[in-house]
Amino acid sequence: MEFPILSLMLAVPLIAAIACLFLDAPAARITALFATLINLALGVMLWLNYDIGGAQWQFTESAPLFAGFEYALGIDGIALMLIMLSVFLMPICILASWDSITKRVGEYMAAFLLMEVLMIGVFAAQDLFLFYIFFEAGLIPMYLIIGVWGGDNRIYASYKFFLYTLLGSVLMLIAMLWMVNAAGTSDIPTLMQYDFPPEAQFWLWLAFFASFAVKMPMWPVHTWLPDAHVQAPTAGSVILAGVLLKLGGYGFIRFSLPMFPVASADLAWLVFGLSMVAVIYTSLVALVQDDMKKLIAYSSVAHMAIVTAGLFAFNVQGLEGAMMVMLGHGLVSGALFLCVGVIYDRLHTREIARYGGLSINMPKYALFFLLFTMASIGLPGTSNFIGEFLALAGIYEVSTLVTLVCTTGIILGAAYMLYLYRRVAFGEQKNADAAAMPDLNAREWAMLAPIAAAVLWMGVYPESFLAPMRQDIVALETRLASVAPRYDSALDQGTPREHAANHVVFEGDKEGGH
């Protein structure tokens, strides 16, 4: 029996969350920080002990609970990277709430720790219904975080967030019940290899899509996101942008693509169409925002559209690129929300016009903000560049038109991010209050420096992030190869199956050291 490290990673924040409910504010803060740091250490152990190129599913544990439902955990390289993202951002979120949250601190920390349990559970679950419970329960702490500790319009935002995400998931549950009945098992690795009848795949795919598209969020079901971000406290925005938006992408890569490959190929045009609209439309909307958080929220929708297009390119580059964009965006958008939080704590406004010339009195802050702005645009050497490059290369193999539109979105991204930075950090200091704000303190350094290091590490040496996922992505592409769609691509030489064979040989060569 292996050491049950995944169960331990669920137990640590759960026990701490219960403890926080009974502690006073200073003790709750310290307990939450300590628990999240322990989980980060466990996550590092998980990464170091992960056998790259070994078995597809590692650290597996299972205990049958009752007929048709099993407590089954295990991860592949894709889940490993998303768990690492979650445990990395969590202590930073606790630090971000250190001074700004003063009421009901114990309950706030408990909500965040519960959120960590549920996020790790989603990525580690190997039973369909266990996944569903974790996936849906994640709504509850986020709903409370926005509804209790959010801004002035928090009740409206939290209801909208809850109802949007819940409605999509009811259809997914019905589809899951049908799948378990048809396949005779709720084991996710088994279902990933199971061939459902093509006519059923169409309806199952749509049912799952209803849930994942809202979570991503894809246009036109993205409208809950700007409201949720604007009203959420800083740490709530960080975890929402950093991890919760990735649940939709994880759902596509774990369920929609491997379980319903025929339907995924037939409906790829729908995903491409929605992604193209999202990239252009939300980028243009971001250009005219006067609220910093809204601008970054709309930029998230545009980035996630590149993820969905990359996933449905059905090739190794597209899938690897989509995963790297998810990881990079998780770091960068989280960091941008932290940057907004830093100046919001000082001036209590998110209105861009109230700032200006901050590089004069807050030079260290302006430097961090510049790094994350550049990373958001996809500057070479930062985390988002490698993901966007791979995703677009993968999409180009399928459709030049989709690639053209998605690339336009990246150019618009540069426009709204640089415009934001110019108005906040440069120019004259019109507001005396903003001109008097002090630079970063030690706690803010502790929040921003680790993310800055991770963003640069990912941009300079992406192989350390790609290596654990490569085998799983090649396996997924092999499963999809026979149905891969081809649109207007100029690169259409050979059949999709030949492409897949070439990729697999190439990866094998790499492992053999040729």
Per-residue pLDDT reduced to its tens digit, 268-319: 888 888 888 888 888 888 888 888 888 888 888 888 889 898 888 888 888 9
**Residue 278 vs residues 210, 217, 307, 409, 451: alpha-carbon distances, Å:** 16, 10, 11, 9, 27
Contact in structure between 14 and 111 (CB atoms under 8 Å)? no
pLDDT of residue 452: 92
Query: Is pLDDT above 80 for 76?
Result: yes
User: Residue 225: inside a domain, yes or no?
Assistant: no
Higher pLDDT, 326 or 161: 326
Tracing tokens 């929300």 back to the chain, one arrives at: 337
Say if 325 falls within a structural domain: yes
Instruction: Supply the pLDDT for residue 426.
Output: 84
The predicted structure's pLDDT at residue 501: 39
Residue 506 is predicted with a pLDDT of 34
What residues make up the domain containing 300? 267-467
Residue 425, in any domain of the structure? yes
Q: What pLDDT was estimated at residue 496?
A: 41
Residue 106 has pLDDT above 80, yes or no: yes
Residue 354 pLDDT: 80
Helices (H), 150-241: 154-183, 188-193, 198-215, 224-231, 234-239
Q: What is the spatial distance between Cα 157 and Cα 135, in angstroms, rounded to a whole number?
A: 20
Residue 74 lies in a domain: no
Name the residue among 270, 314, 369, 269 with its Cα closest to residue 495: 314
Residue with tokens 């991770």, as numbered in its chain: 454
Instruction: Report long-range pairs for 164-167 (Cβ below 8 Å, ≥24 apart).
Output: 164/214, 164/221, 164/223, 164/224, 165/139, 165/211, 165/214, 165/215, 165/224, 166/136, 166/139, 167/210, 167/214
**Which strand (E) or helix (H) includes residue 11?**
helix 5-20
Q: What does residue 35 show for φ and ψ, rounded to 5 degrees? A: -65, -40
Q: Is residue 195 classed exposed, middle or buried when 0-12, 13-18 and 19+ CB atoms within 10 A define those classes?
A: exposed
Q: Rounded to an integer, what is the distance from CA 323 to the centroid of its chain? A: 9
Q: Is 205 exposed, middle or buried (0-12, 13-18, 19+ CB in 10 A)?
A: buried
Q: Is residue 387 part of a domain?
A: yes
pLDDT at 497 over 50: no
Query: Please, are residues 99 and 151 in contact by the beta-carbon 8 Å criterion?
Result: no
Residue type, 255: F
Has residue 172 been placed in a domain?
no
pLDDT at 161: 78
Intra-chain end-to-end CA distance of the chain, in Å: 36
Residue 502 has pLDDT above 50, yes or no: no
Give the C-alpha separation, 514 to 174, whole Å: 48
What pLDDT band is residue 489 in, cutting at 50, 70 and 90? Answer: low
| Residue range 397-409: mean pLDDT, rounded | 87
Tell which wins on pLDDT, 501 or 71. 71
**Mean pLDDT of the region 443-471:** 89
What is the Cα–Cα distance from 52 to 466, expressed in whole angstroms? 10
**Lowest mean pLDDT, pick from 153-157, 337-341, 457-461:** 153-157
Contact 331, 451 (CB under 8 A): yes
| pLDDT, mean of residues 154-176 | 82
Q: What is the dihedral of CA 242, 248, 253, 255, to 10 degrees?
A: 140
Which of 58-67, 121-130, 224-233, 496-505 tops mean pLDDT? Answer: 121-130
Is residue 513 scored above 50 in pLDDT?
no
The percent of residues in the chain predicted with pLDDT above 70, rounded, is: 93
Fill in the DSSP letter of residue 233: -
Tokens 């940057």, residue?
339
**Rounded average pLDDT over 256-277:** 86
Chain centroid to CA 191: how far?
A: 24
Task: Output DSSP code: residue 483.
Answer: G
Residue 499, pLDDT above cutoff 70: no
Cis bond leading into 91, ω under 30°? no
Q: How far, in Å, CA of 180 to CA of 198, rounded?
A: 16
Residue 2: the pLDDT is 67
Query: Can you state the percent helix, strand and coil of the chain, rounding each to 5?
Result: 75, 5, 20
Instruction: Give the rounded percent of residues in the chain with a pLDDT score beyond 90.
Output: 9
DSSP state letter for 75: E
Any idea what DSSP says for residue 353? Answer: G
Element (H, E) at 508: helix 496-512
pLDDT band at 88 (very low <50, low <70, confident <90, very high): very high
Query: Does the structure show a pLDDT above 70 at 342?
Result: yes
What pLDDT shows up at residue 450?
A: 92
pLDDT at 67: 67
pLDDT in tens, 195-234: 888 888 888 888 888 888 888 888 887 887 788 888 888 8
Tokens for 368, please give them.
Answer: 């961090």
The mean of the pLDDT values for the chain is 83
- Say if 105 falls within a structural domain: no
171 Cβ partners below 8 Å, 6+ apart?
206, 207, 210, 211
Measured CA to CA, the distance from residue 153 to residue 168 in angstroms comes to: 24
**Based on the structure, what is the number of domains in the chain?**
1
Task: Indicate whether 437 belongs to any domain.
Answer: yes
Alpha-carbon span 286 to 410, nearest angstrom: 13
Burial of 300 (0-12, 13-18, 19+ CB in 10 A): buried
Q: Is the pLDDT of residue 490 over 70?
A: no
Q: What is the pLDDT of residue 98?
A: 83
pLDDT digits (tens, 9 = 90+) for 118-158: 999 999 888 888 888 888 888 888 888 888 887 777 888 88
**How far is Cα 38 from Cα 50, in angstroms, rounded to an integer?**
18
Cβ atoms < 10 Å from Cβ of 436 = 11
Greatest pairwise CA separation for the chain in angstroms: 68
Sign of the C-alpha dihedral, residues 418, 420, 421, 423? positive
- What does the alpha-carbon distance between residue 485 and residue 378 come to, in Å, rounded to a whole number? 28
